Amino acid sequence: EIVLTQSPATLSLSPGERATLSCRASQSISYYIAWYQHKPGQAPRLLIYDASNRATGIPARFSGSGSGTDFTLTISSLEPEDFAVYYCQQRSIWAPLTFGGGTKVEIK
């Protein structure tokens, strides 16, 4: 199983600040990573797929980067609606798909 470790567990920031979230894989997964946003009581939303591609309708302030084992989700300037939990997910051909434990972005 490929383990995804997200850090930090919690990120306390103010609106307008930059958020940098990390996802590290236990083995190389090329660029096969996605990022989701999840708010309580809502359906999770796909933000980024294949490391750096924004999903349909996702604002440009969300960007993804990385390859191999280290990946980053960046929110360039936090809007009030961006405070949520973010998960990464891998789709490597070598193992069942798995998710990271999540990073909560909270208002400071």
Applying CB under 8 A, the residues found at the interface with other proteins are 32, 34, 36, 41-46, 49, 55-56, 87, 89, 91-93, 96-102
51, 89 in Cβ contact below 8 A? Answer: no
The alpha carbon of residue 18 and the mean position of all alpha carbons in its chain are separated, in whole angstroms, by 14
Least Å distance between CB 82 and other proteins? 18
Tokens found for residue 99: 């998710």
Least Å distance between CB 13 and other proteins? 22
Choice between 14 and 56, CB closer to other proteins: 56
Choice between 41 and 80, CB closer to other proteins: 41
Report the chain's terminal Cα–Cα distance, integer Å: 35
Least Å distance between CB 75 and other proteins? 19
As a whole number of angstroms, the distance between CA 31 and CA 23 comes to 12
